Structure 1
Amino acid sequence: MNAPLPSRRSARWSAVAALAVLVALAVGAGLYVGGALPAPVPPEAGPFGYTDYAQALNHVRPSGDLDFEGLKRDRPALERFVASLASVSPHRQPERFPSSQDGLAYWINAYNALVLMQLVERYPEGVGASWFGGFYWTRAWPVGGERLTLYALEQRILLGEYADPRVHFALFRGTRGGPRLDGAPYQPEFLDAQLNDASRRYMGDARHVKLEDKTVHLARLFQEHKQDFLAALPEGRGGNVLQFVWAFLPDTCEERPGCDTRGDLDRACGPLLDKCRIDFVPEDTSLPDAANPAERR
């Protein structure tokens, strides 16, 4: 016997309601991850600056590894800086960040400090303990009236508002194989030089750029953001990401024994850098913990 009409109608409406709930959840999740939700703005506790953040960065070793024991002792300084981000940002008070250098320095420091804060909170777990890259998108922070995930900070603001591919080498991703955290905050007046230094550090590390015969082993970061690097090349230079790499390779390896130089790349790959094969290698996602140097690969 067929079911009564009202039951069929009820079932249809239940299915529609369930679908609406799923759509609403998906939209809400998208807004959350994309940093489109508002956040409360507390009153400023004091003048905004990078002094507290600089105190936390004192625990960055020259190798780029972190002294987490020292960081835990200075955690209140890091927490004060992170709390200050909730009250001040270039989006909320553009008059306080009049130049692009002011804004970009703020956002790089904010991103790196939030990565550092999450690592301290999760220690001894690192980025690799998160499923599907959840470290970068499951936590949202109040920043100048916006609720921002690390993903939103990187994709929507740092890469969306500032067309400078060197930013990729300045963003600390909490991994041993990624860009190193600098031992000082980024400052507007020195930003261009600091971004160049960050790029040179990255290129001069054999984990990121390694030449073997006619093969150049590149960190996967170059593959993931290839179009950003190609867009920065002068017109007519072709579509080879090695052109961008070449610009930041060292001339000599006096400071980094065993690195590859511009001359090495020229001799192996030809004047157009088109005679080499590129092999993209995965990133070492282990925690850059100075207490565990044996984990280095």
Structure 2
Amino acid sequence: MDCRAVSAPPPLLQRRARGPAVAVVLAVLAVLVAGAVLYVRGALPAAVPVAAGPFTPNDYARALDHVRPGGDLDFVGLGQDRAALERFVASLASVSPRLRPELFPTPQEGLAYWLNAYNALVLRQLLERHPDGVGSAWFGRFYWGHAWPVGGERLTLWALEQRILGEYGDPRVHFALFRGTRGGPSLDGAPYQPEFLDAQLNDASRRFMGNPRHVRLEGDTVHLARLFETRQQDFLAALPEGRGGNVLQFVWAFLPDTCEERPGCDTRGDLDRACGPRLDKCRVTFMPEDLSLPDVADAAARR
């Protein structure tokens, strides 16, 4: 019997053997990455069920009955009305301005649909995560980690905000999107409606500017919410001067003249006096967002 050791294959043969395996792994990774990108961007299809009836925001309006005047949410009451919110979210799968444009013939009708859809989906996800909220979701996963069927597409919150709502080119939209945090834009107590949309967007912008969490003046320094930094180019593009303007000009346009409704806020006159007529004498800093859940129960406990 020949007991000599069997010699190992030459290195070249080893490399050749590993080559196909590496190629398969890389191909699988490429497919997974491509699929993840399509998922986050809302580019995957979804089934379109038969609509149960004409599309209306009535069930969503019922869910909004649990928004308190200061913007906090009564999650106990919202949970009791969960069926209404679920019905509205389910109705989104059957119709959208992209699937049935004839049902949304004006930009106002389309934009109102998408704003209500986004905010309702945030509410739906908050109910699932309550009481954890947005802050516990790693790397912003709250906005891209789940996709819903909406008018034949599977859409994440990220896709709704970045890809669809961004097409409307209205910077006031940023103040109308409820992000599920106490430091972000707050919900109104009514759905967005096409016939009142311009006024509702102005109201949402004024609510945001009139909150010291978002705009606060200290001497010659203006502290602004981080939203003004991340979306600064959108706000500047809306100014007569374009992107060569000053973001404080946009802020000034929606600041209140008085603080009767929100004691302690800053007014247009305050900004004029501190920053000069051209609003160029102030330093601007950006504040981090309060990611805590806007839960009325938590607000009551802090009092």
TM-score by length of 2: 0.95
* Alpha-carbon offset, residue 237 of structure 1: 8.7
Q: Percent identity over the alignment?
A: 75
| CA RMSD across the alignment | 1.5
Which amino acid counterpart does residue 29 of structure 1 have in structure 2? Answer: A
Q: Is the 8 A contact 1:176 1:296 kept in 2?
A: no
Cα separation, 1, equivalents of 2:243 and 2:26: 51
**Does 1:193 find its partner at 2:199?**
yes
Cα separation, 2, equivalents of 1:8 and 1:216: 62
| Secondary structure in 1 matching 2:281 | coil
Cα separation, 2, equivalents of 1:48 and 1:296: 40
Which amino acid counterpart does residue 175 of structure 1 have in structure 2? Answer: T
Q: Is the 8 A contact 2:237 2:243 kept in 1?
A: no
Q: Is the 8 A contact 2:135 2:292 kept in 1?
A: yes
Q: Which moved more, 1:171-180 or 1:250-259?
A: 250-259
Q: Deviations over 1:8-40 (max 9, x none)?
A: 212011111111111111110000000000000
Q: Is the 8 A contact 1:286 1:295 kept in 2?
A: no
Q: Deviations over 1:215-273 (max 9, x none)?
A: 00000000000000000001379421000000000011111111100010000001110
**Does 1:167 find its partner at 2:154?**
no
User: Equivalent residue for 2:5?
Assistant: none
How many residues are aligned here?
Answer: 296
Cα separation, 2, equivalents of 1:286 and 1:99: 36
| Secondary structure in 1 matching 2:102 | helix
Cα separation, 2, equivalents of 1:54 and 1:99: 22
Cα separation, 2, equivalents of 1:7 and 1:37: 40
* Alpha-carbon offset, residue 296 of structure 1: 6.8
Out of 70, 81, 100, which is 1:63 matched to? 70
Q: Deviations over 1:160-205 (max 9, x none)?
A: x100000000000000010001110000000000000000000000
| Bigger Cα Rg | 2
* Alpha-carbon offset, residue 294 of structure 1: 5.8
Cα separation, 2, equivalents of 1:76 and 1:35: 26
Which amino acid counterpart does residue 151 of structure 1 have in structure 2? Answer: W
* Alpha-carbon offset, residue 2 of structure 1: 5.7
Q: Which runs of 5+ in 1 are unaligned?
A: none
Cα separation, 2, equivalents of 1:292 and 1:263: 34
Aligned pairs for 1:1-297 (under 5 A) are 3=10, 5-159=12-166, 161-235=167-241, 238-293=244-299
Cα separation, 2, equivalents of 1:116 and 1:188: 21
| Secondary structure in 2 matching 1:128 | coil
Cα separation, 2, equivalents of 1:235 and 1:5: 66
Q: Which runs of 5+ in 2 are unaligned?
A: 1-7
Cα separation, 2, equivalents of 1:81 and 1:3: 66
| Secondary structure in 2 matching 1:127 | coil
Cα separation, 1, equivalents of 2:202 and 2:126: 26
